[in-house]
Chain A
Amino acid sequence: MAAPARTPEQETARTSFRDELRAAIREALRADERVFLMGEDVGSYGGAFGVSLGLLEEFGPERIRDTPLSESGFVGAGIGAAIAGMRPIVEIMTINFSLLALDQILNNAATLLHMSGGQVGVPVVIRMTTGAGRQLAAQHSHSLEGWYAGIPGIRVLSPGTLQDARHMLAPALADPDPVVIFEHGSLYNATGPAVPPPASYDIVSAAVRRAGNDVSLICHGGSLPKVLAAADALAAEGISADVVDLRSLRPLDGATIAGSVARTHRAVVVDEGWRTGGLSAEIAAQIAELAFYELDAPVERVCGAEVPVPYPKHLEDAALPAIVDIMAAARRTVG
């Protein structure tokens, strides 16, 4: 999957996670007239997180569709439009509101192909913002990616890098089955150098973002920057961390996870969701299944605290995985 060629200016420019998402949507809209974006405030507002700024002016209201506050209604409409040949990108403002559309996503998008015995495919892409950290309190701070990652019939992605922000959308749109993409709210402002076109690219493999031998730090999305920072700090203590960015939450890349644990013999899973029955539990179970005889310490998990996310900063910080927590967990495995 090759990205379009870049100018020299583009090569040296800096870009942001948000800019890359927008560029991806723009490219998709230009490349295929079946593609359109729909969701609350994606048009004249430019997107609740500014992702679609300028797109309404470029593509018009038919293809950049503002919807009423009807999550179930417009997600279902996106599903129906996909069935009938369009390639909608449905934006649900946040994962918190997606609960209103969960019936359409689970009972229809994920299930129609099977219920119809293979007749009715749903090639819809659903994007949602997820995560906490901006003192938005309990109802606006959920990380429920683990729930979605448990649903057979859909693909779940979690971009954590600028490159993935840019390049996950096209293969997601090309997938004949539903794809749900989670964008952590804290990543939109992340900046970096312009994204080089990937030599080879897929949306199924986890990526080792930093190679190490002493402990595997397994994470995704918004946790990736924290984990990389923890890895840097651990290196100064003589602990070399192998950082695995999951990228795909369903399916999980068990081979890469197990390969990392086979090298390091220790694992720490970092996920902002709640640990009980969450994504971290699934990953720990897969490590036990695939790499039990490699483990030299119990698998550690660093997750959101079992509490609705509180408003005041000091409590919110305490409720979410922190760099010091990740480091402490790594140290415990190394002993």
Chain B
Amino acid sequence: MPSLGADMTEGSLVEWLVQPGDTVVKGQAVAVVDTAKSAIEVECFEDGAIQELLVEPGTTVPVGTVLAVLADGGRTDAPAGATDTGETAETTNTAEAGKTVETIKAAEAAKATDSTKATGAADTAKTTERTAARTTPLVRRLAHDRHVDLDSVRGSGKAGRVTRADVEAASRDSGRIRATPYARRTASELGVDLRGIDGTGTDGTIRARDVRAAASGPTTPARPASPAPAAAPRPAVSPEPPAPDGHAQARRQAIAHLMSKSKHEIPHYYLSTTIDLAAAVAWMREHNRAVPVAERLVPAALLLKAAAVAARKVPEMNGFWIDGGHVRPAAVHLGVAVSLREGGLVAPALHDADTLSLPALMAGLRDLVRRARTGRLRASETADPTITVTDLGDQGVEAVFGVIYPPQVALVGYGRVLDRPVAVDGLLGVRPCVTATLSADHRAGDGAVGARYLATVDRLLHHPEDL
């Protein structure tokens, strides 16, 4: 079937003008085909004899389909109607008559010159695509109608799918927060929760000045998203000194206010334990040997996972102290303290950290840190932690005794992983160890509960394969 026009993809054979056995010459019309626009005679390009007709009149076939076989007793070229593209020229030089015909190349060759495979490789799927992947159209429509930001909704369905119930709950809880992009960015930089801020823009849109006002004002929102810096000797500062601009100052003020409030309101008690990480480190090394560099684990991943799983097993450490009672959410959203280059901390949440696989947790952590440092956190991340971890091992301290970030009831601290002399089975050995600490709200629980938590962390780290 010849190509008879730029946009022709198929044609239908109307009639044959020749029969098997007929001799034909180059340029002779051998068939009539019907295209979208009109009927056209098809000529053959070789002398020869019709050996076999392959397509019945009335059939529609793609351009490039072999219609008939010619036998010429001499040089055999591509039969009538066969394709002849630059890339796949198959001119055979056999001399026998009646050579078998080439297989149908279909429309492939005809389209080869103009088809380009769309290899859209999305390096990092955008959030909306990810969200879209885990919601049904019905749910998306509902979210749209209720002005719910799907990115901020935690899915309770299978594999994290956002269900209708999730959307309805979210729309009851928060409503859509109208804030300008600049306001959102400012809020995440200052660690301010957008909820509860009155916007002065059109339709109550929150603008940057509203955020700054909220950050520096005397009344703080119910659940501010500010970090818990360590009270250790070496303060947690970013490598560069903070830029002497208004943002950093406002942020500092916000942190200062929150820490004061925490110390003022929360009766802290502190526990500490030193954990033998030999099993964990060994397991980790084995694991890393078998995977590519990009997927290798670092100790922090295990430490964070253990803290999260322990919070699930000891739920007294998870959740909030609100209005004289302990609110225990079902999920464990692990706040991770991240130092900012310009000074200050944020502690955004790794959602459902107890359910994440170690590689997923590491990827999530990396992404969170990157976005925290570039001011791209989502409101749900700053608002949702149910327990927070501060890992200052990289800074070199052995133990961290931190300030709980209200209204949470606990803060877990990790220091440096150090080789220590340890007595094991009566013998002296050297093992990698880490000092894990717990700052806990004495209103929500007593020392025994805190001890149980740390013991759980210890146990978990002795069985890293289960993490």
Interface on B for A, CB 8 Å cutoff?
180-185, 200-202, 207-208, 375
Q: Is the CB of B201 within 8 A of A294?
A: no
A86 and B276 CA atoms in complex are apart in Å by 84
A86 and B285 CA atoms in complex are apart in Å by 73
**Contact residues in B for A296 (Cβ distance below 8 Å):** 180-183, 201, 207-208
CB under 8 Å from chain B, chain A span 311-335: 335
Within 8 Å of chain B (Cβ to Cβ): is A295? yes
Q: Is the CB of A265 within 8 A of B182?
A: yes
Q: Is the CB of A292 within 8 A of B181?
A: yes
Given A265-B208, A293-B185, A296-B207: A335 and B202 interface contact (C-beta under 8 Å): yes
CB under 8 Å from chain B, chain A span 260-296: 265, 292-296
Given A265-B208, A296-B207, A296-B208: A335 and B201 interface contact (C-beta under 8 Å): yes
A247 and B32 CA atoms in complex are apart in Å by 61
Q: Which residue of A lies closest to B205 (CB)?
A: A297
CB under 8 Å from chain B, chain A span 72-117: none
Q: Which residue of B lies closest to A335 (CB)?
A: B201
From A292, A293, A294, A297, give the contact of B207 (CB < 8 A): A297
A335 and B375 CA atoms in complex are apart in Å by 25
**Contact residues in A for B184 (Cβ distance below 8 Å):** 293
Q: Is the CB of B200 within 8 A of A295?
A: no
19 additional A-B pairs beyond A296-B201, A335-B207, beta carbons within 8 Å, are A292-B181, A293-B182, A293-B184, A293-B185, A293-B375, A294-B181, A294-B182, A295-B180, A295-B181, A296-B180, A296-B181, A296-B182, A296-B183, A296-B207, A297-B180, A297-B201, A297-B207, A335-B201, A335-B202
A293 and B201 CA atoms in complex are apart in Å by 16
**Contact residues in A for B202 (Cβ distance below 8 Å):** 335
23 A-B contacts, Cβ less than 8 Å apart? A265-B182, A265-B208, A292-B181, A293-B181, A293-B184, A293-B185, A293-B375, A294-B181, A294-B182, A295-B180, A295-B181, A295-B182, A296-B180, A296-B182, A296-B183, A296-B201, A296-B207, A297-B201, A297-B207, A335-B200, A335-B201, A335-B202, A335-B207
Size bin of chain A's contact surface: under 10
Q: Which residue of B lies closest to A262 (CB)?
A: B182
Per-position binary interface string of chain A over residues 243-268, scored 1 when its CB falls under 8 Å from any chain B CB and 0 otherwise: 00000000000000000000001000
Q: Which residue of B lies closest to A332 (CB)?
A: B202
A54 and B214 CA atoms in complex are apart in Å by 67
**Contact residues in A for B200 (Cβ distance below 8 Å):** 335
CB distance from A214 to the nearest CB of B (A): 12
**Contact residues in B for A335 (Cβ distance below 8 Å):** 200-202, 207
**Contact residues in A for B185 (Cβ distance below 8 Å):** 293
**Contact residues in A for B182 (Cβ distance below 8 Å):** 265, 293-296
**Contact residues in B for A292 (Cβ distance below 8 Å):** 181
Interface on A for B, CB 8 Å cutoff?
265, 292-297, 335
CB distance from B324 to the nearest CB of A (A): 40
A292 and B208 CA atoms in complex are apart in Å by 14
A265 and B185 CA atoms in complex are apart in Å by 12
**Contact residues in B for A294 (Cβ distance below 8 Å):** 181-182
CB distance from A298 to the nearest CB of B (A): 8
CB distance from B302 to the nearest CB of A (A): 35
A326 and B262 CA atoms in complex are apart in Å by 49
A293 and B180 CA atoms in complex are apart in Å by 8
CB distance from B199 to the nearest CB of A (A): 10
**Contact residues in A for B180 (Cβ distance below 8 Å):** 295-297
Q: Which residue of A lies closest to B375 (CB)?
A: A293
Give the 4 A-B CB pairs with smallest separation, nearest first: A296-B182, A296-B180, A293-B181, A293-B185
CB distance from B211 to the nearest CB of A (A): 10
Q: Which residue of A lies closest to B185 (CB)?
A: A293
Q: Which residue of A lies closest to B186 (CB)?
A: A296
A265 and B209 CA atoms in complex are apart in Å by 11
Q: Which residue of A lies closest to B208 (CB)?
A: A296
**Contact residues in A for B183 (Cβ distance below 8 Å):** 296
CB distance from B388 to the nearest CB of A (A): 27
CB distance from B74 to the nearest CB of A (A): 40
A295 and B185 CA atoms in complex are apart in Å by 10
A292 and B183 CA atoms in complex are apart in Å by 11
**Contact residues in B for A295 (Cβ distance below 8 Å):** 180-182
Residue of B181, B182, B185, B202 with most partner-chain A CB within 10 A: B182
A335 and B207 CA atoms in complex are apart in Å by 10
A335 and B180 CA atoms in complex are apart in Å by 13
Residue of A292, A295, A296, A335 with most partner-chain B CB within 10 A: A296
Q: Which residue of B lies closest to A261 (CB)?
A: B182
**Contact residues in B for A265 (Cβ distance below 8 Å):** 182, 208
CB distance from B102 to the nearest CB of A (A): 34
A294 and B185 CA atoms in complex are apart in Å by 8
Residue of B181, B185, B208, B375 with most partner-chain A CB within 10 A: B181
**Contact residues in A for B181 (Cβ distance below 8 Å):** 292-296
CB distance from A188 to the nearest CB of B (A): 41
A321 and B184 CA atoms in complex are apart in Å by 33
A242 and B185 CA atoms in complex are apart in Å by 22
Q: Which residue of A lies closest to B183 (CB)?
A: A296
A293 and B184 CA atoms in complex are apart in Å by 8
CB distance from B336 to the nearest CB of A (A): 23
A292 and B180 CA atoms in complex are apart in Å by 9
